[in-house]
Amino acid sequence: MPVRARRKESAVGPLPRQSSLAVILVFAPDAPETLLQEACLAAASLGHSCEVSRGPRETVVVLSGTEDAEELGKRLASLGPVDLITLQEPGRYARLRTRRRFTGALVAGLGLFMTVGAAVPLAGFLLPPRRALMHEGQFRAADVAQLGENSARMVRFRGEPVLLVRQAGERYFALAALCPYMEDCLLEWSAERLQVVCPCHGDAFDLYGNVLRGPASVPLHSYVVERVGDGLYLNGEG
């Protein structure tokens, strides 16, 4: 489910200069045309091309050119809340986004991923949580306030994507979020079905990781979730 991105108050540090740069901006599906035009004009001032694609879940703007990411980020900062994320696994990301019917040819050369407004679930996987704190050997995955009832949040634990789910009351579940069928798609939480589902292959799992519908035949790994104060912590034992 979409996760709202907030602007970081601290700088993310210098970004590498690249000979060929591709940047994706993901807006809310109802993003106004004026905002999209502003993004394209800012990119055009640096010689970047701009392509816009509207979808039912998000509006995608793809920028490509040769200017360095740091300067481009400065130009786009005026658009509002923005996260700059250095892509860690371009191959995996390209395959995943292609299966989700994004512009595969443009994503294939991706060097940087940028989210504005409503971010796609991958943002939590590519960027370590803002408050990566430890509590007696456990990993702080999220704040309690970040999860409403019957909602989920994608986090990154030990280098892997994990889906953190809150059910009614204080019932928390954490499951490996990479589809076990082909390991090329991130799972999502269905609040209507109360299941973890794969948007690529149609698999479904319960909150304990058991397979409810294939083609996957392997259950999801689960993690223990513990609330300590205002934080939710994970450890590797399920």
pLDDT tens column, 189-227: 888 888 999 988 889 999 888 999 888 888 988 888 888
First to last CA, the chain: 23
Which pLDDT does position 82 carry in this prediction?
46
Q: Which residue type occupies 37? A: Q
Q: 77 in helix, strand or coil?
A: helix
Map tokens 């901006």 to a residue.
Answer: 25
Handedness of CA 201, 207, 213, 216 (dihedral sign): positive
Domains of the chain (ranges plus CATH)?
3-120 (no CATH), 134-235 (2.102.10.10)
- The per-residue pLDDT for range 153-181, each reduced to its tens digit, is 888 888 788 999 998 878 899 999 888 88
Give dist(CA 155, CA 151) in Å, integer: 13
pTM, 2 dp: 0.43
**Distance between CA atoms of residues 148 and 136, nearest Å:** 26
Per DSSP, 186 falls in state B
Candidates 137, 110, 135, 140; CA nearest to 122 is: 110
What would the pLDDT profile of 97-151 be if each residue is shown by its tens digit? 333 333 333 333 333 444 443 333 433 333 333 333 334 456 788 888 888 888 8
